[in-house]
Amino acid sequence: MIKIIRAKHIDQKILRVYFSDNSWGDYDLQPLIDRQTELVLPLNDDAYFQQFFLELGALCWPNGLELSPGGIHRNLEERQQLHYETKVA
């Protein structure tokens, strides 16, 4: 089961997410925010957007919005935006 182990804000509505399988990618949440659903509306505010946190490997916000690590991983993989850490001996 894939989990997000770390996330950091890198630009506007983009978070760099690191997964438990040693992969990472830059996840753009703007398309999700553009849907303007009740749970994502607060993400329009930059200060609120940056209040994200991880809970049990999922990406979360204080209002209860929770994004599945598997869904984010799959999205990045489908867009060929998933990178894997290479181990150096």
- State the 10-residue block means of pLDDT for the chain, 89 residues long: 97 97 97 96 97 98 98 97 81
89 part of a folded domain: no
From residue 51, alpha-carbon distances to 17, 26, 45, 67 in Å are: 15, 17, 10, 14
* Region for residue 4 given its phi and psi (left: phi exceeds 0; alpha: psi -120 to 50; beta: otherwise): beta
In this predicted structure, what is the pLDDT of residue 8? 98
- The domain tally of the chain equals 1
28 part of a folded domain: yes
Find, among 60, 87, 85, the residue nearest to 72 by Cα.
60
In this predicted structure, what is the pLDDT of residue 88? 61
In this predicted structure, what is the pLDDT of residue 86? 76
CATH of the domain at 51: 3.30.2020.10
Round to the nearest angstrom and report the end-to-end CA distance of the chain. 26
56 part of a folded domain: yes
Q: Which two tokens stand for residue 51?
A: 């209040």
